[in-house]
Amino acid sequence: MSRDFDVCVIGSGAGGGPIAYELARAGRSVVVLEKGPWLRERHFTKDELACCRRPVYTPPLRDEKHVIEQRDEQGRWRAQSNDQGGPNLWNGNCVGGSSNFMSGFFHRMKPIDFKLLSTFGPIDGANVADWPIDYAELEPWYRHVEEVVGVSGQVRPHAHEAPRSNADYPYPPTREHPISARIDEAARALGLRAVKVPRAILTRPHPTRRSCEYSGYCGSFGCSSGAKGSSRAALLDQAVATGRCKIIDHAKVHRLVSDARGRIRHVAWFDRNGAEQRLDAHIYVVACQAIETCRLLLASTGPRFPHGLANNHGQVGRNLLFSAGGVGSGDFDFRGRDPDEIKALRVTGPFVNRALHDWYRFRHPEFGDSKGGIIEFLWEHPNPTAHAQNAMWRGDRLLWGRELKRNLEAWFRTDRTLDFEVFNDWLPTDDCRVELSKQVRDRWGTPVAKVRLNAHPRDLAVGRWLAEKGERLLRQLGAVRIRSSVSPNPPPNLQAGGCRFGNDPGRSVLDPDCRAHEVDNLFVTDGSFMPTGGSVPYTWTIYANSFRVAEKIKSQLG
């Protein structure tokens, strides 16, 4: 039967980009459906209001919301639409997805991350599972990402380094701030080893992308040079250039229509004018980011799937993951420092590029041999709008007049703040999942996702333990006003799980190739496939796995 396209990819971020890139280059016809707009480098100005105060890169919550279910102070579950309060779980709704706005911290998962259950055993209240593949199977694809997406760095061996098949990164490290050398010295004084952080940022020009221009506005902002390795800049622009990839933006997919045999027949979507359209393909790849991928499958009921596509075992939406951990910071007060030192501290643009991996596996006094995580150091973002927002408050009191002026002056003129971020496992549980709301609909009239949020107590304990280590290094650096916090509230840009892959169809949605057990022309390639998330940001692993799955799709197409 003739089809409109060989492959239809729904979503254009780190999970969808590699599929479009590889299949188009292999001579296959590909269409990418993206709900958001198609923005280019010229659109990514350093507009602090667009980034942080207005829904320019994400949908307005009045049009597209989530229902958030969390425990109240009495331990009862309470559900509320997030246009009425609660966390906003949208991020990066445009061509390239949230990869446009990442900081580009690229860490490989370690071999133990693939075998968490086998290595550490079961954990009460957590649905820990081993991956059906091991690190060795994904390692060549990590290397492929380094070359194709572009990863800069310098290998600095350490105890928890993941094995590599190449000696070093294809691009030299990004320029580093003087504080980086001081972090190295402070770590050595504490018996630690600071790791040079690889970045998905070009340090040399590429034929279609400029190198980093060191504006200081990286995380949360789109890249106006194309140096950042977003799916759009690194992959989709090249896929479109082949003439075999079509991107349709402002395309809200609301249903995958399946037949009596359980195969997908076509995809139904609303165009920018709200008119329903449809197209068909031989193979469909869903990569909408974890929450929206689960929502789409649950909404795609059919003759064989009364509870949602590929969901006859009730696994779609279960075991949703985020990244656990916390944040901390310390101030470098300018008082008492010589002018040259103050001038060095004030430098913006170069990166810190330092992390601690010393506690990726450690012994905890409460629960023994345990998975830990990493501590990533970075300067507080220079965005003045964010600074001013923080300066408005002292504790829970809103400041006005002279007091506000003095606080603003302190924020901008008297010191500089070094932050750290803790990344550790968010353990999968029955109380972190995605369902469809029975009451709330979006502006197209389709049910929104209801997201139950709950962190396992182990996540918080490990996060607090690591945050204390981050504070210790800040003290060694001579920082003052050191503080940290660990919270069960998840970072929306780090979503995974919900459609985990595995060998048992009764306990997983996808097979080891990320093909749905029950639908042979459906693949899922965003972070939804992950049974556990490791203790690093997910983007590099999502990219690597998507490139791996692209080879499986090529084979299936013959």
Residue 519 Cα distances to 87, 323, 510, 554, angstroms: 33, 29, 9, 17
End-to-end CA distance of the chain: 15
Q: Decide: pTM greater than 0.85.
A: yes
Quickly count helices (H) and strands (E) in the chain. Answer: 13, 24
Buried b (16+ CB within 10 A) or exposed e, 320-350: bbbbbbbbbbbbbeeeeeeeeeeeebeeebb
Residue 414 Cα distances to 180, 321, 404, 417, angstroms: 21, 39, 15, 10
Strand partners for 331: 417, 480
Q: Which pLDDT does position 316 carry in this prediction?
A: 98
What are 193-232's pLDDT values in tens digits?
999 999 999 999 999 999 999 988 888 888 999 999 999 9
Q: Which pLDDT does position 493 carry in this prediction?
A: 85
Q: Which pLDDT does position 399 carry in this prediction?
A: 87
In sequence order, what are the residues at sequence separation of 6 or more whose Cβ sits closer than 8 angstroms to the Cβ of residue 48? 383, 384, 385, 386
How do the pLDDT tens digits run along the chain, 558 residues long? 568 999 999 999 999 999 999 999 999 999 999 999 999 988 888 777 777 777 788 888 999 999 999 998 888 999 999 888 888 898 889 999 999 999 999 999 999 999 999 999 999 999 999 999 999 999 999 999 999 999 999 998 888 999 999 999 999 999 999 999 999 999 999 999 999 999 999 999 999 999 999 988 888 888 999 999 999 999 999 999 999 999 999 999 999 999 999 999 999 999 999 999 999 999 999 999 999 999 999 999 999 999 999 999 999 999 999 999 999 999 999 998 999 999 999 999 999 999 999 999 999 888 899 999 999 999 988 887 877 777 788 777 888 888 888 888 877 788 899 999 999 999 999 999 999 999 999 999 999 999 999 999 999 999 999 999 999 999 999 999 999 999 888 888 899 999 999 999 999 999 999 999 999 999 999 999 999 999 999 999 999 999 999 999 999 998
Spatial distance between the Cα atoms of 363 and 82, rounded to a whole number of angstroms: 39
Q: What is the dihedral of CA 84, 254, 497, 71, to 10 degrees?
A: 20
Q: Which pLDDT does position 2 carry in this prediction?
A: 62
Strand partners for 9: 32, 285
Helix (H, G, I), strand (E, B) or coil at 399: coil
Spatial distance between the Cα atoms of 524 and 501, rounded to a whole number of angstroms: 9
Helix (H, G, I), strand (E, B) or coil at 459: helix
Question: The tokens of 382 are what?
Answer: 């220079």
CATH architecture of the domain with residue range 5-211+218-557: 3-Layer(bba) Sandwich (3.50)
Q: Which pLDDT does position 406 carry in this prediction?
A: 83
Strands 30-33 and 245-248: parallel
Strand runs labelled E in 193-306: 194-196, 245-248, 252-258, 264-270, 276-279, 281-286
Spatial distance between the Cα atoms of 267 and 264, rounded to a whole number of angstroms: 8
Spatial distance between the Cα atoms of 91 and 327, rounded to a whole number of angstroms: 20
Are the CB atoms for 89 and 33 separated by under 8 Å? Answer: no
Spatial distance between the Cα atoms of 143 and 284, rounded to a whole number of angstroms: 26
Of 475, 463, 472, the residue nearest 362 (C-alpha):
463
Are the CB atoms for 137 and 544 separated by under 8 Å? Answer: no
Q: How many CB atoms lie within 10 A of CB 176?
A: 16
Are the CB atoms for 100 and 232 separated by under 8 Å? Answer: yes
Task: Compute the radius of gyration of the chain from its Cα atoms.
Answer: 23
Spatial distance between the Cα atoms of 230 and 348, rounded to a whole number of angstroms: 23
